[in-house]
Amino acid sequence: MALLRRASAAPLTADLASADGLRQALRFFARERAWINAQHLELCRIPAPTFFEQKRAAWMFEQFRAMGADAKIDRAGNVICFPYGDPGGNQLIAVTAHLDTVLAPRQNDDIRIGPDGKFYGPGVADNGAGLTGLLALARALRDEPIDHLGAARIVLCANVGEEGEGNLSGMRYLCRQSSLASRLETFLVLDGPGTAHITSKALGSRRYEIVLTGPGGHSWADFGVANPIHAISQVIAAFAALFVTGEPRASFNFGIIEGGASINSIPTEARTKLDLRSESTSRLDELAELLTDCVERALEIENGRIPPFPGKPPRVTAKLREIGFRPGGALPAESTLLAALQSVDAFLGIRALPDCASTDANIPLSLGLPAVSIGAGGQGGGAHTPGEWYHPEHRDLALRRVLLTLAHLLQ
C-alpha cells in the first residue's frame, strides 16, 4: 500500500516542483553550494557543547537577522526564525535542528576541510549538517520568496539540549511551554547527514546516575573498609551478566565511571552513569527494576565482605537518581507527513526506509504530533568521536527534499 500511495502522489510532487517561485527556490541549493559550505565551516568552529550553546545560538540568530528574517532567542535558548514573519494565530510547520554537540572544538583548526572536500572535526556531521540545512533553507526562502504558497507558516528552530544529558530540553520547552506550543502542528527534524532514513518511531530511553559513598581511608592502614569502587564495579558486572537480549529490543551502556583520588587511597565516592534504551516502555521499567536490584545486591556483598572494622563505619551507601527520560512514540503509517515525504522521495529517486531512533522527534511524537527526523544530506561518519567527518556531496538533493516536503504540507 505504501508503494501505491507514493506512486499516486508523485504527479502532485512534480506539479509542486514546477510551480512559480518554488522552482527557483529549489535551484538555490546547488547554485549557492559555496556559500552553504562556508556557513557550515563557520558555525562548526563555534563551540556548542550541551548546556553551553549560547555563542552558537547568538551566531545563528545574527545570520537569520542578516537575511531579513524575523528571529529571536526564546527563554530556553532556542533560536526561532520566521522567514516571512510570524503569521499570527496560524498553525505552524516547524523545521528544527539541534545546536549542541557531544564534543567541541578547542580552536578553529580543529574544524577543517581536507583536500578531498571533507569537513573534519567534532560536530561537523552531528549536527553541523542539520544547522547548515536550516540556514540554507532560510536564505532560499528569503531569496526566492514562496510566501504566496502559504510558506509564512514555516518556522525554523535551532534548539538546545538534544545530546547527552540535555534530555531534549529545548524541544520539550518548544512543545510544552513556549508561546508557540499550541500552534505547532508538524515537525521536520534535521539531524545529521544522509537521506537513507526516516525516523518515524521514537526510541525511548532512561538515564541514571549511581553514586556510592563510603568512609575512605589508607589502602594499607584502613584495609577492610568497604570500597565504593569495588561496589560500583559489582553493580556494572551484575547488570551486564543479568541483562537479557531479545524482543522487544533494548540496550544498555555504562558510559561514565568516576571516583578515587590516588592509587593508595580507598575512595570516599564512586559514580557511574547508565543509558538504557528500548522500543518498549515496559521493557525500560523492567531494566530500571533490575538496576535497583543490582545496586542493593552490590551493597550487601561489599558491606558483608569483611567483618566490621574497628573505630570507623565500614559501610558504603548508594544513591540512584534518574537524570534523563526520553519518551517513545510513533508516527501512524497513514500519516500525511509520511505520505508527503515518501512522495517526494519517489520523485527525487531517494530510497529511504522508516526506522527507530532517539532524536528531538521523540517529544512531538510522544505528544501525538506528526514528526520525523531525517538527514540533511551529504555523507558523514564518526559522530560523537574526535574523528567525525562530513562530505557535502549531494547535500542539495536533501535540501530540495525538505523544501518539497514542506510544499506538500502547505497544501
Tens digit of each residue's pLDDT, the chain (411 residues): 343 344 445 558 898 898 888 999 999 999 999 999 999 999 999 999 999 999 999 999 999 999 999 999 999 999 999 999 999 988 999 999 999 999 999 999 999 999 999 999 999 999 999 999 999 999 999 999 998 888 999 999 999 999 999 999 999 999 999 999 999 999 999 999 999 999 999 999 999 999 999 999 999 998 888 999 999 999 999 999 999 999 999 999 999 999 999 999 999 999 999 999 999 999 999 999 999 999 999 999 999 886 665 665 678 999 999 999 999 999 999 999 999 999 999 999 999 989 999 999 999 999 999 999 999 999 999 999 999 999 999 999 999 999 999 999 998
pTM: 0.90
User: At what angle are helices 33-44 and 22-31 packed, to 10 degrees?
Assistant: 60
Q: Which of 118, 120, 73 is nearest to 99 (CA)?
A: 73
Contact 358, 324 (CB under 8 A): no
Q: Identify the pLDDT of residue 10.
A: 55
Buried b (16+ CB within 10 A) or exposed e, 222-249: bebbbbbbbbbbbbbebbeeeeeeeeee
> In the 8-state DSSP scheme, what is residue 105?
-
- HSE at residue 161, side-chain half, CA atoms within 13 A, is 19
Contact assessment for residue 365 and residue 171, using Cβ atoms and an 8 Å cutoff: no
User: What is the enclosing helix (H) or strand (E) of 109?
Assistant: none
- The closest of 208, 212, 206 to 274, measured between CA atoms, is 208
Q: How many residues does the chain have?
A: 411
Backbone angles phi, psi at 144, to 5 degrees: -125, 75
Residue 406, CA distances (Å) to 42, 92, 98, 341 in order: 27, 11, 19, 9
pLDDT at residue 1, as a whole number: 34
Measured from the Cβ of residue 278, the count of other Cβ atoms closer than 10 Å reads 21
Nearest-angstrom CA–CA distance, 184 and 154: 10
Q: Going from the N-terminus, what domains does the chain have, and what CATH number goes with each?
A: 2-203+328-409 (3.40.630.10), 205-326 (3.30.70.360)
CA angle centred on 375, ends 162 and 173, rounded to 5°: 30
Q: Which residues pair with 269 in a beta bridge?
A: 213
Tally the C-alpha atoms within 13 A of residue 95's C-alpha that lie toward its C-beta. 32
DSSP-assigned states of every residue in 348-378: HT---EEEEE-STTHHHHHTT--EEEE--BS
75 three-class SS: coil
> Hey, what amino acid is at 148?
H
Residue 5: the pLDDT is 42
pLDDT of residue 147: 85
Q: Could you give the 3-state DSSP secondary structure of residue 314?
A: coil
Residue 2 cell numbers, joined: 505504501
Cell of 272: 557511574
Q: Taking a C-beta distance cutoff of 8 angstroms, is the pair 164, 105 a contact? A: no
- The H or E element spanning position 185 is strand 184-190
